Structure 1
Amino acid sequence: MPEGDDIFLKIMNSFGVKVVEAPLIEVKAIDFSIPDPVLEFDWIIFTSKNALKPFLKKVSDIKNTKIAVIGNSTAEALKNIGYQADFIGSGHSGARFAEEFKELATSGDRVLLAVGKLASNVMENSLEQDFIVHRVDVYETTIPRNINLKAIAKIESDDYGYIAVSSPSAVDNLMLHMKNNKERLRFVSIGTVTSAQIRRYGIEPSGEATNQNYKGLAETIVSTINPQP
């Protein structure tokens, strides 16, 4: 179900798993302000590639500020628009990233955290123990104008293997379109926050990625389809 992340599709294709893309969220930039010039921050952290374009559209020059990102896909997207990440977190989770970042950065550093509006505050709270953190919400997720109704019909008729979801919003938006068999849905989740949202509907995820990124999601689907003895 997630839209187009190359590494996800590459892994799925390598194992012969058919993927039907059905984007369930649309990313929209939102207005934001920064209390001080970017140059006064020691670090900018991008938790997702979705944060890059909205942030850089408003803040055009960040070349003199160190940049940290979560996951290789965000680092690659950053590179494609002309910047190099100074630190790439493993992408296992926001909490894990915070612990990794603390080993690198200097206590008391000023950190600008560019995230989505619905992002958890777990990483933010952890970073605030050692750094001066200013969070800016730079994008939000909404329901797409065009939903893949054929994919929804396949799900309702139980003509699918698993539903891969990469955000709580995707779970909510799918549920809005489901009329039947909600309790029987077979989700594989990208991580703990998304799994928690699935459970709010009374459904236990069939699988949850240990490494909370698209690579981890793909690997979890493969292992769920073909469990090892």
Structure 2
Amino acid sequence: MADRQTDNKIHGKLIICTYPQPEPDEFSVQLEKAGAKVLFMPAIEIRPLTCQLPKQLSDYNWLVFTSKNGISSFFNQYQPAANNKVAVLGEATGSELNNFSLNANYTGTGRTGADFAKELKDVIHPGESVLLVLGELAPDTIQQELQATNSVDRINIYQTVAPDHFDPECVELIESESYDLMIISSPSAIKNLYLAFREKISQWRVISIGKTTTAACRNLGIEPLTTAKDSSYKGLAETTIEYLQHQNI
């Protein structure tokens, strides 16, 4: 919890979150407790995809998910087979699985897909079959790591697209540079924001959720003020509070 000194530093700061608001939202809860004003202007939309499974679900030993969006999009369409084991990346993804009355057999560290892929090599036995359930923009990192020892199929269960429009109040704040921070949680979000506002923003004041998103920002010539140490909404909150505590913006 933020202390009194932190509260004084953060009080009145205007923060624009560019991710779709989750329930519960650990970031906005913590920042609002500390006295900030948090507005939501999603820079991405998640749309489920209908896909054809390569095999029967019962043919797979493992179902592997890297995001909450993958969990909801998949289990709203399919029921798992009795023999399926489920691996998820991070506790938040596991919590979404619980909403479907299911529990993960393995929960990864919640940091990066590359770390998760390496962990899975110690969890999934050679010869076991794997179905990767991912968003269409996800890289092939896990498949490349496992395919030498396992039969691995991939399906894209959701797509990430730019929204049809942005919240007018937030647009006005951004264009007049009347905000303190923008919170960026994915490469897709910063790309969509850049395309929408690159002619109208002279100074980008963004905090990134992790290394991959920071790299995407830098590829566009945008240097984040800081990057979350832990790639989660809780980690974002802690990093943002720490940043504001030590900066005068």
Deviation at 1:129, TM superposition (A): 4.5
Trace 1:201-220 onto structure 2 (pairs within 5 A).
201-220=220-239
Q: Secondary structure at the match of 1:182?
A: coil
The percent of aligned pairs where both chains have the same amino acid is 34
Partner of 1:93: 112
Find the counterpart in structure 2 of residue 199 from structure 1. Answer: 218
Candidates 40, 45, 54, aligned match of 1:21: 40
Shift in alpha-carbon separation, 1:207–1:3, aligned structure 2, 3 A: same
* Correspondence for 2:21: 4
The answer (yes or no) to whether the contact 2:49–2:156 under 8 Å persists in 1 is yes
Q: Does the C-alpha gap of structure 1 residues 12 and 3 become closer, same or farther in structure 2, counting only changes over 3 Å? A: farther
For 1:134-180, what per-residue CA distance to the aligned partner results, in whole angstroms no more than 9, with x for missing partners? 11111101122342121122122221222111111111221232154
Larger radius of gyration: 2
1:32 and 1:183, CA in 2 relative to 1: closer, same or farther beyond 3 A? farther
Q: Where does 1:184-195 land on structure 2 (aligned, <5 Å)?
A: 184-195=203-214
Aligned to 2:127: 108
Does the Cα contact within 8 Å between 2:121 and 2:145 map onto a contact in 1? no
8 Å contact from structure 1 (residues 165, 171) kept in 2: yes
Instruction: After superposing the two structures, state which structure 1 stretch, 51-60 or 162-171, moved more.
Output: 51-60
The structure 1 residue matched to 2:102, chosen from 83, 92, 105, is 83
1:134-149 matched pairs, under 5 angstroms: 134-149=153-168
Residue of structure 1 aligned with 2:78, choices 35, 59, 79: 59
Counterpart position of 1:121:
140
* Secondary structure at 1:39 match in 2: helix
**Does the 8 A contact of 2:117 with 2:141 survive in 1?**
no
Provide TM-score, normalisation by structure 2. 0.83
Three-state SS of the structure 1 residue aligned to 2:170 is: helix
AA of the residue aligned to 1:7: E
Q: Does the aligned pair in 2 maintain the 1:163–1:187 contact within 8 Å? A: yes
Number of residue equivalences: 228
Q: Distance in 2 between matches of 1:75 and 1:63?
A: 18
**Counterpart of 1:32?**
51
Q: CA RMSD in A?
A: 2.0
Kept in 1: contact 2:175–2:197 (CA 8 A): yes
Out of 166, 187, 201, which is 2:185 matched to? 166
Structure 1 length-normalised TM? 0.90
Name segments (4+ residues, structure 1) moved above 4 Å.
none
Mapped contact 2:177–2:201 kept (Cα < 8 A): no
- Report the CA distance between 1:47 and its aligned residue: 0.7
1:155 corresponds in structure 2 to 174
Name the CA distance, whole Å, in 2 between partners of 1:160 and 1:22: 12
- Letter of the aligned partner of 2:226 in structure 1? G
